[in-house]
Amino acid sequence: MTTFKEFRRLALYEECAGSLKELFEQDGSLIALIGKIHLALPLDMEQSLRPLIGQSLSILRTDLPEKPYLCRVLIQESELSRQ
């Protein structure tokens, strides 16, 4: 089991971008390894993020009660193979 003691939490309007390398649960949070950053996210994001492992993405923390985090794919894996 992977454990990591230091991870970041996004402040309001802060964004993290990079390649999503790994997801795991620790201390009631979903930890996403994005580039070299271990980012703590809500557990309910796992289902939407797991299919994006290996993709370059961006996660933005918002003040929207219905969408506290927005995620978008920056470069599709299929686009990378064409370059």
For residue 56, list its beta bridge partners.
19, 75
Residues of the domain holding 29: 15-82
- pLDDT digits (tens), the chain, 83 positions: 455 568 999 999 999 999 999 999 998 999 999 999 999 999 999 999 999 999 999 999 999 999 999 999 997 655 555 55
3-state secondary structure of 50: helix
33 lies in a domain?
yes
Q: Residue 10 domain-assigned?
A: no
Q: How many domains does the chain have?
A: 1
Cβ atoms of 7 and 31 closer than 8 Å: yes
Dihedral sign of CA atoms 62, 63, 64, 68 in order: positive
2 found inside a domain:
no
Put simply, whether the predicted model's pTM sits higher than 0.95 gets the answer no
